[in-house]
Structures are given as C-alpha cells and as structure tokens.
Structure 1
Amino acid sequence: MNDLGLQLRMAVVGTVLFGLYLATALFVSAAFGISLVPVLILSIVLLPAGQYKLGKWLAIRSSGAEEMPEDARFQHVHRMTESLCDDMDMDKPRLMVAKMGVPNAFATGRKGAGVVVVSSELLSLLEDDELEGVIAHELAHLKNRDTITMVLGQSIGTVVSYAVFIVVQLLGDDNPGGFIVAYVASMLANFLVMLFVMAISRYREYVADDDARQYIGSGDPLARALEKISAGAEGRESAVDDSGVNALCIFNADRSLLQQILSTHPPTEKRIERLRN
C-alpha cells in the first residue's frame, strides 16, 4: 500500500488505541497493586487469543460454510488462488463456499492459517477476472493480518470498558444506582473505542483494495466486481445475521442503524473510484 495519507491516518488511530490500552493497563495495575506484567499478558495475549479462536470458529459456523472441493465446479477457483498466493508469497488458505443469500466473500484467520469463504451467489455472478480481484482482496487481508488487528482493537475496547466499570463502581460509594451508571459508562467507553476500531477497518478495506489492484495488475476487475456485488445485494436479504461476519465481508450487507453508525467499510462508490484512478 503506497497511499501515505491512509498510512498516516492508520498510524494516528493505532497510536490512540495503544495509548488507551496502556493507560488502562497502568490503572488496573496500580488500583489492584499487582504487577504490570500479568495485566499485559492477560489483556494482550490471553484475551485476544481467545477472541481470535472463537471469532474464527463462529464466522465459519454462522455463515454455514463448507469445504470447497477441488472438482470441476471449483477447480478454477483453487488454481486462481494458488497462483495469487505464489505471487503474494503466502501459503494457500482453506477455501470454503457458503450460501449467504447475497454475493459476498470474507477471510478470517491469519497468514499461514487462514480461511477464505466465497458465496455460491458470488461464484455465479462474477467473471473470472472479477473473481480474481475479490480473491486477491481477501488474501491481502490475510497477508496484512487484518483479522488479528481487528481482534486486538476489540480486545482494547473490552479492557477499557471493564476498567471504566470498575472505576465508576469504586467512586460510587455504594450508591444503589451505581451499578447501572457504571454499566452505562462502560458501554459508552467501549462505543468510543470501537469508533477508532471501525476507522481502522475502513482504512484496511482501502489497503486490501489497493494491494489486490497491484497483484492482479489493474483495479478495474475488482471495481466491476464491487459494482456487481452491490447491485446483486439490492432487494435481497443476507442469510448471515452475524454482524461480526458481515464486518469481515468484502461488501457489508448489514444495513442496520447501528451498522450505519459504526461502518466497517468505506462507501462502495469511493472504493470503486479509487480503484479506477
């Protein structure tokens, strides 16, 4: 990714998140009189690791994904993925297929242990070069460790919300309504942190688009794919009601009010414009 503006914005948002995390860890350490080391281990290693494992399993399960066989129906997808992985210097991920109700695709896991899921609706909609653009986009997410980045961000939100809850409870002087106030404050803190996490998610979509463009040699196939995916989703309900899975998809079909506020994807029109420029 060569866009300096995006890199700078990602760096600023990442720094803010890390600052929030470090401040919270220091507070917990001081408040309970325990060493900073176990706090760091719990909040950076154990919590994200658990969320990563559970999130990967839930994404596959909630989408109803099944292994993609290497038969005549899907052989071209496997060969296409192998070629892209050779160019991107990464191991081929597991390929899975799911009936998602709308044309879509997502990647979960990490480089070397990733999974790419494509919907049967997507496979029947796109031309081969357009599908290659989508696969390259998902492989870029794995190569750039985007799932791990998002899990770390969500873990920071969890840690901060717990810390705020504890602080408000300690300052409440056994007020009967203290629990409710602490709970609301913790949810607000988590919401504010997630605004930063969603900002990173939007930037990562641009990065994956740009990486895909570089590896397939042109941005037009992926731009055409996004146009078809967006049009193909109109008037159709996604069979996946897990907001976490929708956030991973190349096109977020979740149009709920909350999703509009906490958007994980930049506007499709802007993505298409950048790919063609």
Structure 2
Amino acid sequence: MVGHNGLKLRMALAGSILFGFYAALAAAVMWTFGTGTTVLALLLLGSVGFVGFQYKFGKWMALRSVDAEDMPEQSNGRYDYARIQQSTEQLCREMDIDKPRLMVAEMGVPNAFAVGRKGAGVVVISKEIIQLLDHDELEGVIAHELSHIKNRDVVIMVLGQSIASMVGIVVQWAYILGGERNIATYFAGMILGTIAQMIVMIFVMAISRYREYVADNDAATYTRNPDAMARALEKISSGAQGKEMKGEDTVNALCIFGSSGSFLQKIFSTHPPTEKRIERLRSKNSSY
C-alpha cells in the first residue's frame, strides 16, 4: 500500500480554494437574482449538472479526439497486445484496483493517458509508444496511468476546470450585462472572463504537476523498477520532438508527457519538467 498524504493534503487545499471561488460565484449569482430557495436550488442543480456534463463529455471527447479503439486481447505481428493485457492485469492486482478498459490510438507521438475513475477507468496507449519502448518501460507507463485512476486525482482536475469555466462565464456576462450594449463591452467581457478563468486554473495546474510526480513514484514502486520509468520518459521526450500530437488541445493535460517552453507556459503547464521527473526517479534506484 502506497500512501499519498502529500497529494491528499494538496488536493484538500486545492478543493478548499476552489470552493472559495465557487462560493464567491454563488454569492454573485444570488446577489444578482436574489437569495430565494428557487434560486439556490437552480444554482446547485445547475452546478452539479455542469460538472457532470463536463466529466462525461470530457471523457468522451478525450477518447474521440484521438480515435481510440479497444485494445485487442490477442497480439498481432507488430504489437504484443496480449502481453500488455497480462501486465496490466498483474499491476491492477498489485495496486488493488479493477482493471480499466484498455484502448489504443495513433496519436502521432509516443504518449498515453487515463480518464475516468476507479471502477470505470480507461487507459489509452499510443501505438507509437508501444513501438518505441521496451516492455519494462511500457509497464512503468501503464503503472503511471493506473496510479491516476487509483488516486482519483482526475476528479480534482475535472472539478477545477468546471469551476474555472463557471467563474469565467459569470465574470464575462456580469461585465457585459452591467455595461453598455456594444462590441467593445462584449470583447472586454470576454477578456475579463478569460483572465478570471486563468487565475483559477493556476491552482489546478499546480495540483496537476504534483500528481505527475506522485504517479511517477507509484510506477517506480509497483514495478520496482524506477530506472525503466526514467528511461521511458527520456525516450518519450526524445520521440515527441518536432512532432504534432493528435488531439493535443483536448488530452494534453491527461497525457504522461506534456511540453512547456516559455515562463508563461511553465506557470500553466500541466506537467513538471521532464528532467526533474527523471532525476527524482533515478534517485530512487538505490531503494530497489
């Protein structure tokens, strides 16, 4: 059993901050439309419905954006699917979770991602990553993705993105409806809404980067092979250079590898620097 008090604490802190944003949003709505029971009920139902829709639609869209297909149980000439299925079953027993639905996709780059929750998870593996990595390295990648499902950290991402969207929408229309009805007011409202959404997303991205470290650590722990996970990240990073990923705008935050360049990109990056992830993994070698 692997404990993650650090991740739980950060998720609780992020959840509290996000609740604060939501409370401010709810107060603004009730200040505008009143504090009656009907308004409160509609606000709660609308919020739950919005989050639920984003979760379901986001999961469907992620799979659709890369044209993911169910992974065959049997191997073929190019891909040893049977061995991947067996390794995943073994890792799931080690991690005490139900085996997720395994899917494959041609993403244009070596990558993988997980969506869903425990009992209803999906792990998508690119055909490029299967061709690129040795089997022990691929096991590390699969364990990393299973960790996201086991730790339920996708939930805080969905919640954060939903609240960020709601805050952005409310700020945008509050400005538009409160000002003069012209094009300048409309565009100013859009800009303010985007800025408000970005402010909320800073907190979400900070959690996203930390959860990648946790998933790397889990992969090293459950495979007992941190060096394989480190080698996988090196190969994935090198293999993605100069290539465009299919569905990048939709699934980049979910993938095992995400690039960041400028200072602003690093602030809003969903992944920590790859070299730091590799350094952490290599420092664990002496423990195994």
Pair in the same fold by TM > 0.5: yes
Change (3 A) 1:258 1:109: farther
- Which residue of the partner structure matches residue 249 of structure 1? 255
Equivalent position SS for 1:69: coil
- CA pair 18-113 structure 1, distance change in 2 beyond 3 A: same
Kindly provide the amino acid, as one letter, of the partner of residue 94 in structure 1. R
Report what 1:229 is aligned to: 236
Question: Where does structure 2 lack aligned partners over 5 or more consecutive residues?
Answer: 284-288
Correspondence 1:76-95 to 2 at 5 A? 76-95=83-102
1:265 and 2:266 are equivalent in the alignment: no
The match for 2:70 among 67, 71, 90 is 67
1:15 aligned residue = 16
> What whole-Å deviation, never above 9, does each CA across 1:171-205 have from its counterpart, x for those lacking one?
42657733332222111101111122111111111
Residue 43 of structure 2 corresponds to 39
CA–CA distance in structure 1, aligned partners of residues 86 and 6 of structure 2: 35
CA distance in 2, matches of 1:85, 1:6: 21
Alignment-mate amino acid for residue 61 of structure 2? L
Measured in 2, the distance between the counterparts of 1:105 and 1:118 equals 4
Equivalent residues of 2:259, 2:271 under 8 A apart: no
State the alpha-carbon separation in 2 of the partners of residues 89 and 185 from structure 1. 45
Q: Given that residues 11 and 156 in structure 2 are in contact (C-alpha distance below 8 angstroms), is that contact kept between their aligned partners in structure 1?
A: no
Q: Write the distance in 2 (CA, Å) between the matches of 1:243 and 1:255.
A: 16
Name the count of aligned residue pairs.
275
User: Which whole-Å CA distance do the structure 2 matches of 1:177 and 1:118 have between them?
Assistant: 46
User: Which of 32, 42, 53 is the matching residue for 1:50?
Assistant: 53
Percent of aligned pairs sharing the same letter:
56
Native 8 Å contact 2:106 2:128 kept in 1: yes
C-alpha distance in structure 2 between counterparts of 1:220 and 1:122, whole Å: 17
Cα deviations across residues 35-81 of structure 1 (Å, max 9, x unaligned)?
A: 334312321x2111111111111111111211110113300000000
Per the alignment, residue 167 of structure 1 pairs with: 174
Q: TM-score, normalised by structure 2?
A: 0.87
2:144 equivalent to 1:144: no
Bigger Cα displacement from structure 2, 253-262 vs 228-237: 253-262
Change (3 A) 1:268 1:241: same
Q: Which runs of 5+ in 1 are unaligned?
A: none
1:114 corresponding residue in structure 2: 121
Aligned equivalents of 2:50, 2:200: Cα separation in 1: 16
Closer/same/farther in 2, CA of residues 170 and 66 from structure 1, 3 Å limit: closer
**1:219 partner letter:** P
**Cα deviations by residue, 1:90-112 (Å, 9 ceiling, x for unpaired):** 11111111111111111111111
Compared with structure 1, are the counterparts of its residues 5 and 142 closer, same or farther at alpha carbon in structure 2 (3 Å cutoff)? Answer: closer
Distance in 1 between residues matched to 2:111 and 2:218, nearest whole Å: 19
Q: Secondary structure at the match of 1:110?
A: coil
User: C-alpha distance in 1, partners of 2:72/2:260?
Assistant: 29
1:230 and 1:173 map into 2 onto residues whose CA distance is 50
Change in Cα spacing, 1:49 to 1:9, as seen in structure 2 (3 Å) is: closer
Matched, 1:276 2:277: no
Helix, strand or coil at the partner of 1:107: strand
CA separation in 2, counterparts of 1:30 and 1:99?
49
Taking the aligned partners of 1:154 and 1:172, their CA distance within structure 2 comes to 27
Q: State the TM-score, normalized to the length of structure 1.
A: 0.90
State the partner residue of 1:27. 28
